[in-house]
Amino acid sequence: MNAPERAFRPDRHPADSYEDILDRDLVPPPDFLRQRGLPDIGVEPVAASRYFDPAFFAKELAYLWPRVWQMAGRDEDIPQVGDYFVYDNVGKSFIVARTGPDEFKAFYNSCLHRGRKLVTLNGCKNEFRCPYHGFTWNSDGTFKENPIGWDFPQWDGKDTSLPQAKVDRWGGFIFINMDHDALPLAQIMGPLIDDFVGYDYANRYKAVHVAKKVRCNWKATAEAFMESHHSVTTHPQILPGIGDCNSQYDILNDYVSRQFSASAVQSPLLEGHLSEQQIADYMMGRGDSRRPLAVSAAVLPEGLSARAFVAAQVRAATLRDTGNDYSNRSDAEMIDSLLYNVFPHMSFWAGYASNLTYRWRPNGLDPDSAIMDVIVMRPVPKNGPRPKPAPVHELGLDDPWTDAPELGEGLITIFSQDMGNLPYVQEGLRASGTGMVHFGRYTETRIRHHHQMIDRYIAEGEARGG
């Protein structure tokens, strides 16, 4: 489907909607945060086997991953000509290199002689020399040397440059696609690009990057971050400060969906009524690396909502840290969780303070495990040098999130709770008595749409015969 029709607007939780909360904000939001409606994509269940069946996983390998845009990394990770990093996914490996001041290429990381990986570590080179036999390519991918060229008549007069994937960029991120006929990245990400104009992602730096291996299929891992109503059981400690079951969900085109959850309001599922002062006290003490706050607690001025107060504190902290004035920016864009997903494996948070970016991918060729990248993006200070990007901190299957203290206590707790569920999700999917998984019509519409898009790619691939 293309731009979905907007006629369908299902019943939602009876509490205040996200739009109701926006209507009361002291600094009003931009129109694009308003509900855009949803297509009616049905309520049919999906097979539990999609999360573990090797045959279905093989279809994803054959028909999905070779045809989609994948977020490979940041251009700040390779600042100089000759710098490169290795991006691996589903058995494929790429050398993503800066080949000119503003030129980037992604070479298949495989020697054309006997197939050995040309590089295994990130670095800077003026040539890629295979450690096996010495076949060598220039850093721009052109062929340089065959040490036994006299024995390769089949290469005479042939282009033996390193094969490349398609490369595009947005917001300082580098994307690759193995399908050279794929739709342009701007067309895929169009709604997100339009909505993110003011957030200047290119002028942010990677303050934290943690890559965690998880004992769960990549889709189930992503789905843990595609709805908010699990907070009541998985993250009960955040209920004093989040609108969870009354979050807003939108599907903007085939490839971009989003969910908005209000901060500094209590969950409709929390028993009892909290005062605005109690909500503010909770918010000012939560402390994670995503949301710098100036003070730990303060007396709320009479008549001021916790949302307005916390947003003002975040504006002040961001001004202090970056020199950028956000006094006219909306409360929602300063403090709310504004998640945009791009099919099939990435999520970018909107807003003006620190933002999160997620990436999910299979762990090699294993349908039962995945890798989740958590990246904290911060605005570059207005005055002073651009901070260096954080290196990737890799956590293994059995390494706890507490081994990554750079995330901050709040995020460590959240991710630990989410990851505590996921191995049992994978085991439960295999143990299912019905063999089916059911999604909510509204709150989990993004998950259902994700599966329908995967089905579309598989069906199109099978119809082409490859």
Sequence letter at residue 152: F
Per-residue confidence (pLDDT) for residue 294, from 0 to 100: 43
Say yes or no to pLDDT of 283 above 50.
yes
Say yes or no to pLDDT of 30 above 60.
yes
Note every long-range contact of 95-101, with CB atoms under 8 Å and residues 24 or more positions apart, other chains counting.
95/119, 95/128, 95/162, 96/72, 96/167, 96/174, 96/176, 97/139, 99/139, 99/140, 99/141
d(CA 384, CA 230): 41
Q: What is the DSSP annotation of 82-110? A: TEEEEEEETTEEEEEEEEETTEEEEEESS
Confidence class of residue 466 from pLDDT cuts 50, 70 and 90?
Answer: low
Say yes or no to pLDDT of 403 above 60.
yes
Of residues 303, 428, 452, the one with CA closest to residue 368: 428
Place of tokens 């001021």: 304
The secondary element (H helix, E strand) that includes residue 319 is helix 306-322
* DSSP category for residue 234: H
Residue-wise pLDDT for 406-448, tens only, equals 999 999 999 999 999 999 999 999 999 999 999 999 999 999 9
**What are the distances in angstroms from CA 270 to CA 21, 228, 361?**
17, 14, 34
d(CA 252, CA 265): 26
Per-residue confidence (pLDDT) for residue 14, from 0 to 100: 81
Per-residue confidence (pLDDT) for residue 13, from 0 to 100: 80
Per-residue confidence (pLDDT) for residue 295, from 0 to 100: 44
**Record: fold of 70-177:** Rieske Iron-sulfur Protein (2.102.10)
CATH numeric code, 18-54+185-464: 3.90.380.10
d(CA 128, CA 119): 7
Residue-wise pLDDT for 134-186, tens only, equals 999 999 999 999 999 999 999 999 999 999 999 999 999 999 999 999 999 99
Say yes or no to pLDDT of 296 above 50.
no
Are 378 and 316 within 8 A, CB to CB? Answer: no
Residue-wise pLDDT for 64-82, tens only, equals 999 999 999 999 999 999 9
The chain-wide mean pLDDT, for the chain, equals: 93
Q: Which two tokens stand for residue 161?
A: 């440059």
Per-residue confidence (pLDDT) for residue 226, from 0 to 100: 97
Q: Please tell me whether residue 465 adopts helix, strand or coil conformation.
A: coil
Per-residue confidence (pLDDT) for residue 465, from 0 to 100: 83
Q: Which two tokens stand for residue 365?
A: 């060729």
How far, rounded to the nearest angstrom, does the alpha carbon of residue 411 sit from its chain's CA centroid? 15
Cα dihedral sign for 413, 419, 421, 424?
negative
Confidence class of residue 24 from pLDDT cuts 50, 70 and 90?
Answer: very high
- 281-320 burial, b at 16+ Cβ within 10 Å, e below that, comes to bbbbebebbbbbbbeeeeebeeeebbbbbbbbbbbbbbee
Per-residue confidence (pLDDT) for residue 9, from 0 to 100: 54
Per-residue confidence (pLDDT) for residue 2, from 0 to 100: 44
Q: Which two tokens stand for residue 353?
A: 């303070």
Per-residue confidence (pLDDT) for residue 10, from 0 to 100: 61
Per-residue confidence (pLDDT) for residue 231, from 0 to 100: 95
Q: Please tell me whether residue 63 adopts helix, strand or coil conformation.
A: helix
Of residues 271, 273, 275, the one with CA closest to residue 302: 275
Confidence class of residue 284 from pLDDT cuts 50, 70 and 90?
Answer: confident
Sequence letter at residue 280: A
* DSSP category for residue 64: I
Are 221 and 422 within 8 A, CB to CB? Answer: yes
Per-residue confidence (pLDDT) for residue 7, from 0 to 100: 42
Q: Which two tokens stand for residue 107?
A: 């070479």
User: What percent of the chain clears pLDDT 70, i.e. is strictly above it?
Assistant: 95
The secondary element (H helix, E strand) that includes residue 367 is strand 366-379
What residue spans define the domains of the chain? 18-54+185-464, 70-177
What percent of the chain is helix, strand and coil (3-state, nearest 5)? 30, 25, 45
178 in the Ramachandran plot: left (φ > 0), alpha (ψ -120 to 50) or beta?
Answer: alpha
| Adjacency order of strands within the sheet including 164-170 | 70-74, 173-177, 164-170, 103-108, 92-100, 83-89, 123-124
Half-sphere exposure (CA, 13 Å, Cβ side) for 237?
10
Q: Are domains 18-54+185-464 and 70-177 of this chain identical in fold?
A: no
d(CA 335, CA 261): 10
Are 343 and 65 within 8 A, CB to CB? Answer: no
d(CA 288, CA 326): 20
The full 3-state SS of 185-206, as one line of letters, equals HHHHCHHHHHHCHHHCHHHEEE
Per-residue confidence (pLDDT) for residue 290, from 0 to 100: 53
